[in-house]
Each structure stands twice: as structure tokens, then as C-alpha cells.
Chain A
């Protein structure tokens, strides 16, 4: 038993809040932190006699997502009622899709997509009391502002094999959805939510083990940690000769522990019923074409293209493709630079120095730098008109104040040291560092550093390191 190794099998269920103007089945505008229960109407409050009407924009976004994930849209998908009692569910059922979803059978990266369907979000419970948690609450208030927000649920096939893979794939999905512009995809704010189904099986075996479902992991880090914890828990059970029970689990981030929300026996019987208040969603050719036309180049395709056309390493291409605004800035800089700036050099400068200067969550557009000034600077480095180290200072100025890199270089005296001037400085430095010169001659190559250091000090970093070294070696 002891030498068996286990393979984790992971599938994800992702809920995406759509960024439509109005709710899924009524005309209320979506809520972004308005006072409780101010974005409601008889329909989203589930008042007696009210009826849902499907939001066409939500269907459009749903079709875009389905197509972007390579799914086949259903000619006629239908809504079902998913019945259960909870105070955040005003009708006593959630209108969702069941056996005929909006789209199915697609792929994103290495992961197959099982289905994509539309549904409505529940309201929000606010637990009144010291802890803000349900168990110790004195009372619970319901804020129906969120109730009825359009959701797309994306279900993958169990194609992921590690927590890290799951998290990385979710990043790709998030980048894809962001590029589509259909959602804020903000995990902190709940516009992107992820559940994970995890099971283990002896490596090499084809049949799936019993799965457990981890609910609501609201960051990439928690997803990774939660899945790792669950893999470890199941492995321990199996190694102890036990059996994994099918259940729904909550991962507590603070304690790093998993607790059971409900067992298989306690699982809801949702008594799915075709929603008699709605007609099937039957996308016309026009609707399909409109959705297709609205899909821009997606991150996976962009990464592939950047790698192929501009010969960028795949990690770098992925970074540029997954951060849409950064990728756009980069490509604009490539275009602006013409033959002067090497695309690979531009990529290095963007993913290295520029992102470091921008700081967390900042996009190039948030700063004063333009693709044109950036491209010019990198071209100047390439032409050795400005030294690498001096160029970093110029970049910092461009980010904070903007301007023309050539002018900044000129006015700050950062221009590359002229050849005659540099030769004189080198001569002086070699005279000052006679010891070092002797050591180099004796075969201690490292001693050249002392001479170079003196030159760089003298030129205040304006000299090109390679050029300095060449001049020193000539003289030795």
C-alpha cells in the first residue's frame, strides 16, 4: 500500500457576475455598494404575481463567453427552477439552467469545458452581531440589491492535476473573461467565484475516485491552498485505508482547515422543474454573429502570436497576453518603435523595469509614460545613445512626469560618454588603479572590476559597461 502514489483530479465550477446594465430578469440596475435594498423591484423581490423576463444583454455576454471558450451554443436552451428554501432566495427557487445549458463542450488551454449556463445571483445576508458570522448572529438582514444579478456558471471537465495548475488555469480564464469585457472578474468583490471538485486516484488508474467539493475560494492563493489541503486530507484517508466520503467542504483560510458543510445524505434535492414562466433561449443567426464579432483576440491566442511573431519566450508572452493593458502598451510600443527598437528588448523593458516602476495593480495608462516615449528610450539604449543604468532613471522620469526621453537625457547630462572622453577617463583610472592593472596582467581577471568601478564612478553611469571593458583590455 505504502508505495502507491496518488494523482489528484480537479475540476472547477466558476461563477461570473456579468457586467450588464440591468439584472438577469428585471429592469433594476446592478448594484455597486448602494444602500441596502435600493436596487429592487417587485420582480427581483419575488413578490406574488411577478414574472421574469430574460435580459438580452446577459444572453449576449453568455454567448460570447461560450464561444470564447470554444463551446457550441445550444439552438434552444431552457431555464429551470432550482428549488430550495433560504432567506437570500426570495422565490424559494433560483432560476438557472439544467439539462440544456446555453453552451457546452469547449476548451480553454489544456482544460475541457463541460458547460456554460446562465442563472441569477442570490441576495446577500448580513448577519447582525459581534462576529458577523451566522452562528453567533443576533439577527440576519437580507439585502436584495445583489439578488437577480446575472451570473454565468462555467463548469470544467476534471482535467486539472494539481493545485498550482488549477490556480494557473483560473488566471487564464480570468484574463480571458476580462478581455471579453463581460465581467469585473474581481475575486475579492465576488464577481468571480470558484468552487473546486477534488478527488484522488492511484496513479495510472482511469476511474475517478470519490470527489469532495470545496466551496467559494475567493482568491487564487486560497484556491491553491484549499486544494492542496484537500489533496493532503484525502491522501491521508486513503493511506490509512479509509474511504473518501462525498461531501461539500468549506476551507477556512485563517486556520487552514477544512470543515464539512454537508454530506451526500444531506445534499439538497433541488426538484428541478422547467421554468414555465420563460420561453426557451433560441439564439438567432444574427445574435450568434453579433456575439462572435464581439470577441476580441483572447489571451491564449495573443500569447501564442507574440511568441510566434516576435519570438518572445512563452512566459513573457503569457504575461503580456494575460494583462491586456500591458500587452496593448507593449504592442503599441513595438509599432511606434519601428525598426529602431527590438521587440524582445521592448518586452524585457516592459515586463522588467516598467512593471516594477508601475507597482501593484497599476496599468501603463495610469502613468505619464506613452508607448512612443517608451519605444524611443529603448531604441536609444539599443543605439548606445544612453547607457542601461541611466536609461532606468529616464524611465522613472517618464513614468512620473512624462516627456521626451532624448530631452531628459540631454538636460540631465545622461548622454553616453563620447569615445575620446571615455578613453581619457579609462587611462586616468588605469593610472590610479595600477595594482589592479598588475593583477589583471598576472591573470587575475576579476581585478578588472576595480578599474571599471572607477570609470563608472567618474562617468556617473553614463558609460556603456561593454565599451569600458573593451577599452581597458585594449590597454592591458
Chain B
């Protein structure tokens, strides 16, 4: 069975033509097939290795060539995983899509990746991303942009663009990414898949190359909500190597809800007013109707300070980044340049190694932390952050879930926003408030606008992932979105 048998033949023997290829299944279905003996982990690996090898979207930066050992009873049954290049993986290039780390192979593996490997999800490859997770279009990668599988002239979103495109195009059964201000949810929305940012602290950050430490959080990008729950279940957990990790107070359950009876949904006018593309608004309003059809209630709920979220975010995240990225100095690893003099080592290495957006954010952050400016920028931004978190807490006194579109627009054209950083920053206007509040938020496909996916974002109180996944699951069934692989 382990040699490269054609999938038609494998399934043909069983007369099961509908389930012809692993790529047509969700990860949860693949696990069932493996359990039932209808499919082997090796067959799944071989098929996906072939598909990943034929990547024309530039979704992958590195692909594994050997099938890994997977324990026979591993809960994830060997269904392979695409891993964002931000995660350190032992002996495997881990560059955060930056020239400054080109060729860098860490001596250790990130906790989240290690936990998933132990659970039976071996690494299929490393996926492209915006350099150091700074971007919303994947155009900031030092290794070229990723194309959106729905329309290759468009961006997949970012920064986890490679992971999102790979899952949407069937180049990976599932993937993990990281979300600082929307880097899982926005590309998931633009690629028509599910992306979940868990509560800050539930998944260890150890081994994630840091962008903004107080916001960075790893999470799944999957074909459906069940797969997201399954991956998350094996990602969460307190890690002695990460002092800020909390683990999750309850086991992540597989969602089963089909109705939304009694669930109160809140629509914040601040995040659903002007600025939404008409096609996005249409899908959003249709989704609200569906919620009511499923027995849920929809009401307006205020998030009065969320309008300041982007401003606060673009002080806090760059400030932390300016310190986090100081270690890339050419002394110990990665790119090195200069004429031997210490200052030129620093200047040349960083001048050549960092892309323009990374430099812009280091400059922003350095300025915001400078003596005499700290209170006016960083101090004030932290106060805004506290206020936004309080807004959410009070909103959750009257609703269970907050619902918004994930992105104000569908996937935009490659090159469209590269010269307008501000327009690019506004791509995250609907996802950043939840990041600042540290609460879980999921993006699920809500429908199409002019043939491109529109994401719906659901957010709930900290550590209420199970409730959030259940709501997303019920809505997902009702929407019955047809993913990229099923379009034709």
C-alpha cells in the first residue's frame, strides 16, 4: 500500500468513486478513513506531497521530502500539516520570509508544531508569508507574493497568506498560521476557508519568531470549523517555556451545534458602517438573516472605542517589533554584511536584510518608544487597548457572540495597495480590535461577492472557544459554502 498507487485504483478497488482522492476530504474525514482502514497515512502523505510539489501559487517556501514516522494510534492519524514560516522548526529553514534569516535552520522546534507532530500531524512544508508577519497581502515576503487560488491576479491576504492559499487550493489538508492583528482571519476570509485566532495565551508562543509579543497568537487555517477545532485541541496547552501561556481551561470539543437557538449575536455599528464594500455588506446581511433563521437573535451592540483600534495597534505592534527585531544584527546567525566595523555590520546587515515594510515598522516603533514620546504614544496606546478590552467585556454582558465581516473588502489585486501603507493597514480594521482585547475570533466563509469569498468574523469572550466553534459550526452548515477545490 505504501508505494505510489494511483488513488483511483485504491478507491476503485472498493468501488468508492465519490471518495476518490484524499484532497476531496476534510482532515477530520481523512482521520476517519485512516481509522476505518480505507486509507493509510502514507497514501495521504504521498498525495499531498505531490500536490504541494506542484504548487504554482508560491504558497510554499520549503517542502518535506521524506514521509515522517507517525505513531499508529496518533489522534491526528498522520494527516500532514502546512506550517507558516514564522515557526521555528529544527533543521528546517525558518526565515519568517525574510532575507535576513535566509537559510537559517533553528536548532529547536516551536512548541505548537511539536505538539501537533506528537498528535500525528507531521509537517508537510513551510508556507510563505509577509516578512516577519508584517502585512495583509503576502506581498511583503522576501520570496515573492502568494497568489490567491480564486483569482491568481489577486492577493491571498496576509500575513499567513501561504497557509491560507495552500489550504484553499488543496495543497495542504490543513495549516497553522499566526495572528497578530488579523493575520489568520483576513487571509482565511480572502481565500474562502476557516481561520481561528484563539484567546491570547492558550497556545504557546515558544518558537514563533516574534513580531508583537503581546498580540501574537498561533491558530489553525482549515477547510471547515470541525478541522479548526481538531487542530486547536492539540495546539493549546500551558508551556513551561512561555511564561505568558495559560493553556485552555476546558478541552476543545468537536462542534456539533446545528441551531443557534437562544444565542445572542451583537453587531457593532462602529465596525459595520461605511467602508464595507457593497458585496461584502450583502453577504454580511444575508448571514445575519441566516442567524435568525437558525434561532439566534441579532442586536446592535456598541464598541465605542474600536475606531481607535488601528491607531493603537500601529503604535503597540511596531514598538514591540522594534525590540523583537533588534536581535537580527548579523553577529550570530542569518544575513551578515558590512566592512568589518561594528556600526557598518549593524547598518549594512539590517539595510540589506529587512524589506521596506519591516523597516517602516521598526522606525515607527523606535520613534514611539523614544525618550519624551513614550507617554504620548506607547503609554496612550496601551490605555486605548485597555479601553477597547473593556468595551468588549461590557458588550459581552448583553450578547454571546459579536459578528462582523472579517475584511471590509474581498481579495484585492496584487500591487493595488503596495504603495499605500495606510490603505493596507485598513485591511485589518475589523480584526485588530479583537487582537487588542486578546479574545478568540474565527473567520468562516459567508458567501461570494463577484466570485470572490467573503469572510464572516465571530468573536466571543476569552476562553470561550467551544461556544464560538459551536456557533461557527451551525452557521457554516447553513451557509454550505463551496470551497475553492469544489468550484468546478
Question: Interface residues, chain A, CB within 8 Å of chain B?
Answer: 42, 45-54, 81, 83, 85, 87, 90-93, 142, 269, 271-273, 276-279
Most chain A CB inside 10 Å of its own CB: which residue of B101, B243, B244, B378: B243
Is the pair B369, A83 in contact by a Cβ cutoff of 8 Å?
Answer: yes
Say yes or no: B342 contacts A87, CB within 8 Å: yes
User: How far is A271 from B365 in the complex, measured between Cα atoms in Å?
Assistant: 10
Give the distance in Å from the alpha carbon of A54 to the alpha carbon of B207 in the complex. 17
Does B332 touch A at the CB level, under 8 Å? yes
With known contacts A47-B107, A48-B104, A83-B326, A271–B370 Cβ distance under 8 A = yes
Write the chain A residue with the least CB distance to B98: A48
- Which of B222-274 touch A at CB < 8 Å? 240-244
Complex CA gap A335/B366 in Å reads: 64
**A46 CA to B331 CA in the complex, in Å?**
11
A54 to B242, CA, bound (A): 10
Complex interface: chain B residues within 8 A of A272 (CB)? 369, 374
28 intermolecular pairs with C-beta atoms under 8 Å apart: A42-B107, A47-B88, A47-B107, A48-B88, A48-B96, A48-B106, A48-B210, A48-B327, A49-B88, A49-B94, A49-B207, A53-B241, A83-B322, A83-B323, A90-B327, A92-B326, A269-B370, A271-B371, A273-B369, A273-B378, A276-B213, A276-B320, A277-B213, A277-B243, A278-B243, A278-B244, A279-B243, A279-B244
Q: Is the CB of B108 within 8 A of A42?
A: yes
A49 B369 Cβ-Cβ under 8 A: no
Task: Please state if B210 and A49 are interface contacts (CB–CB under 8 Å).
Answer: yes
Query: Which label, helix, strand, loop or mixed, suits the secondary structure of the A interface?
Result: loop
Does B110 touch A at the CB level, under 8 Å?
A: yes
**Contacts beyond the supplied A50-B207, A83-B326, A277-B213: 5 A-B pairs with Cβ under 8 Å:** A42-B107, A45-B332, A46-B332, A271-B370, A278-B243
Cβ of B213 and Cβ of A54 under 8 Å apart? no
Name A81's contact: one of B101, B323, B332, B333 (CB within 8 Å). Answer: B323
Q: Are B326 and A48 in contact (CB under 8 A)?
A: no
B327 to chain A, nearest CB (A): 5
Cβ-closest 3 pairs across A and B: A92-B326, A271-B369, A276-B213
Instruction: Give Cα A278 to B332, complex, Å.
Output: 24
B291 surroundings in chain A (CB, below 8 A): none
The reply to whether A269 and B331 form a contact with Cβ atoms under 8 Å apart is: no
Q: A83-B369, A92-B323 are in contact. Are A53 and B243 (CB under 8 A)?
A: yes
Quick one: given A47-B107, A48-B96, A271-B371, are A91 and B326 in contact (CB under 8 Å)? yes
Majority SS at the chain B contact face: loop
Task: Across the interface, name the chain A residue whose C-beta is closest to B212.
Answer: A276
**Do B206 and A51 have beta carbons less than 8 Å apart?**
yes
Please indicate the chain A residues that have their CB under 8 angstroms from the CB of B323 in the complex: 81, 83, 92-93, 271, 273
Residue on B nearest A85 in the bound complex, by CB: B346
- Is residue B319 within 8 Å, beta carbon to beta carbon, of the partner chain? yes
Complex Cα spacing A121 to B378, Å? 27
Chain A residues positioned under 8 Å from B207 (CB to CB) = 49-50
Q: Is the beta-carbon distance between B205 and A51 smaller than 8 angstroms?
A: yes
* A85 and B329 contacting across the interface, CB-CB below 8 Å: yes
B369 close to A50 (CB less than 8 A): no
Q: Which B residues, 369 to 416, have Cβ-Cβ distances below 8 Å to chain A?
A: 369-371, 374, 378
A87→B331 contact, CB < 8 A? yes
* A93 proximity list for chain B (CB < 8 A): 323, 326
**Bound complex: CA of A81 vs CA of B325, how far in Å?**
13
- Among residues of B, the one whose C-beta sits closest to the C-beta of A270 is B371
Contact across chains for A92 and B213 when beta carbons are under 8 A apart = no
Taking the closest CB of chain B, its distance from the CB of A278, in whole angstroms, is 5
Q: Which residues of chain B are within 8 angstroms of A85 by Cβ–Cβ distance? A: 326, 329, 346
> Is the CB of B214 closer than 8 A to any CB of chain A?
yes
Interfacial chain A residues near B34, Cβ < 8 Å: none
Name the distance in Å between B241's Cβ and chain A's nearest Cβ. Answer: 6
- The answer, yes or no, to whether B208 is at the interface (CB within 8 Å) is yes
**B327 near A91 (CB under 8 angstroms)?**
yes
Please name the residue on chain B nearest to A25 by beta carbon. B243
Cα(A389)–Cα(B240), bound, Å: 66
